[in-house]
Structure 1
């Protein structure tokens, strides 16, 4: 198997509902998504996928949907105030944990037809979560 990996950095804010730690408060992260694609064959250039192609697929979507955005659960009571203030919010049906954000990025790539093996989301310099196909 061949594998290629692309790293994409972005910033986002969130908070976790029904959580008893510091993450119950609104806060932000400088995140890094590590995306790995896997396949058995290379193209005529000798590549599994061009890194620029991966960047275009993932970075453009992350920039539009996640970067400098508040990721919040649909039941978060702060949503009406943020919307009224014209703030960017990305509403999800689950707590926006690093695990769930990694899964969301994975599913975006898979839905586009790419053979994504795993996505790791570094939430801080010392903490990360991953989601994989196996």
Structure 2
């Protein structure tokens, strides 16, 4: 079958606070996130197609991830709408700040699952989302693998 995996990486800045957390991350703080998006498919075999030999154009991955993740999360603060942080977020929005209210605790793991849900349905039907890896710091990341979620 000759399936190939293709990965594109992205960088963005986001702040968050973890309500009820017992460490420093209970405070508003930010990260320089790095997201790796890996898809899987069979390279295009149509010699008359300008995308001949490609699983997917890297530009197509970029367009999807930019609209679904980067444009949304970059330079925003993520706060759990089901916590007292909702009031803080409302006040920040009144001051002109970009706030995203989540229905989840905005941990790296939950952010990653949100991104899977945003990206996966936007991919062409013949392309499978294989994995996402979200680095919160240089040495810490969460990873989602399709094979773990069959």
TM class by shorter chain equals over 0.9
2:94 matched residue in structure 1:
84
Larger radius of gyration: 2
Question: 5+ residue gaps in structure 2?
Answer: 47-51
- TM-score of the pair, normalised by structure 1: 0.93
Q: Kindly indicate whether the alpha-carbon contact (under 8 Å) linking 1:72 and 1:89 is maintained by their aligned counterparts in 2.
A: yes
Q: Kindly indicate whether the alpha-carbon contact (under 8 Å) linking 1:70 and 1:90 is maintained by their aligned counterparts in 2.
A: yes
2:129 matched residue in structure 1:
116
Q: Kindly indicate whether the alpha-carbon contact (under 8 Å) linking 2:133 and 2:141 is maintained by their aligned counterparts in 1.
A: yes
Q: Does 1:61 align with 2:68?
A: yes
Distance in 1 between the 2:89 and 2:118 partners?
24
- TM-score of the pair, normalised by structure 2: 0.83
Runs of 4+ in 1 over 4 A off after TM superposition: none
Distance in 1 between the 2:10 and 2:70 partners?
10
Q: Kindly indicate whether the alpha-carbon contact (under 8 Å) linking 1:16 and 1:23 is maintained by their aligned counterparts in 2.
A: yes
Distance in 1 between the 2:67 and 2:140 partners?
24
Aligned length: 133
2:20 to 18, 25, 35: 18
